[in-house]
Amino acid sequence: MSLPVHLVPSLAGVAVGDPVSVEGDEAHHAVAVRRLRVGEQVVLTDGAGTSARCEVTATGKRVFTGRAVEVSVDAAPAPEVVVVQALPKGDRGELAVEVLTEVGVARIVPWAAARSVAVWKGERAVKSLARWRATAREAAKQARRSWLPEVDPLAGTDDVVALLAGADLAVVLHEDASGPLAALTVPTAGRIVVVVGPEGGLTGDEVAAFAAAGAHPVRLGSEVLRTSTAGLAATAALLARTTRWG
């Protein structure tokens, strides 16, 4: 059984035998909710590639301390996958973030597409972004990731165009596309960007702008997936053709 994972701000300079403390909400969840006890082992990660397997030496109300038994440093997974996710309605945004994090996406970009039903403005934008980031954080721990995915602030279409222009491979999921995703050559390094449209679909202007930036409009198959799961399917199909899943 895999050990539970907890996030810490930094593991810089930590070596085997060193003490490591976890405080605040992260420690409260471990001690009060999971009933972590002295002598048990956990994995601590800084979300930037460094992890430490630790034996718990002390617990408190909102703190616990462990002794590093093993320290490892993982390189960032390559190729990097970025998913531009059009804002879905309801709680489907958190579902998309959860499954994209679990499948190994490095960065999630919430996008205000022309036909997005959901609207992020003012206080709602702040709260929605915070929920997406909290969802990514928890899903990364569940997936035992040593690299925490980034969740960007809300992007506009011009921001997406700029992101696509710098990608090593950029694809736009579009049900009316003539070419299949499976026909593309997948790079072994660099950055792959996947654009997922909203429930109402992409506009002609959006598809044209993305294609002009170098993106390939593609379809996954004859089925039409929900916006909350299409990114997962596309990312899995791409990763299956890389050494990350080799």
What does the pLDDT look like over 106-143, one tens digit per residue?
999 999 999 999 999 999 999 999 999 999 999 999 99
Q: What is the CA radius of gyration of the chain?
A: 20
Q: Which residues contact 48 (CB under 8 A, 6 or more apart)?
A: 147, 148
Residue whose pair of structure tokens reads 């969802």 in the numeric block = 135
**Neighbour order of strands in the sheet with 107-111:** 150-151, 107-111, 80-86, 191-196, 169-173, 216-218
* pLDDT of 218 strictly over 90: yes
Whether the CB-CB separation of 238 and 181 falls below 8 Å is answered with: yes
Q: Which residues contact 130 (CB under 8 A, 6 or more apart)?
A: none
Structure tokens at 90: 């309801």
pLDDT of residue 1: 64
C-alpha span between 46 and 194 (Å, rounded): 26
**How confident is the model over 15-48, as pLDDT tens digits?**
999 999 999 999 998 999 989 999 999 999 999 9
Note if the pTM is more than 0.75: yes
Fold that domain 5-73 belongs to in CATH: Ribosomal Protein L25; Chain P (2.40.240)
Identify the H or E element spanning 28. Answer: helix 24-28
pLDDT of residue 224: 85
List the domain boundaries for the chain. Answer: 5-73, 80-245
C-alpha span between 154 and 121 (Å, rounded): 10
C-alpha span between 139 and 42 (Å, rounded): 17
C-alpha span between 12 and 147 (Å, rounded): 15
Q: What share of the chain has pLDDT > 70, as a percent?
A: 100
> Could you give the dihedral angle defined by the CA atoms of residues 53, 44, 84 and 242, in that order, rounded to the nearest 10 degrees?
-10
User: Which CATH architecture is the domain 80-245 placed in?
Assistant: 3-Layer(aba) Sandwich (3.40)
Q: Angle at CA 102, nearest 5°, toward 231 and 190? A: 65
* pLDDT of 2 strictly over 90: no
H helices within 79-171, ranges in order? 92-103, 122-142, 157-165
**DSSP class per residue in 64-88:** EEEEEEEEEE-PPPSSEEEEEEEPP
* pLDDT of 222 strictly over 90: no
Find the mean pLDDT for residues 93-106: 98
**How confident is the model over 141-198, as pLDDT tens digits?**
999 999 999 999 999 999 999 999 999 999 999 988 989 999 999 999 999 999 999 9
Whether the CB-CB separation of 63 and 46 falls below 8 Å is answered with: no
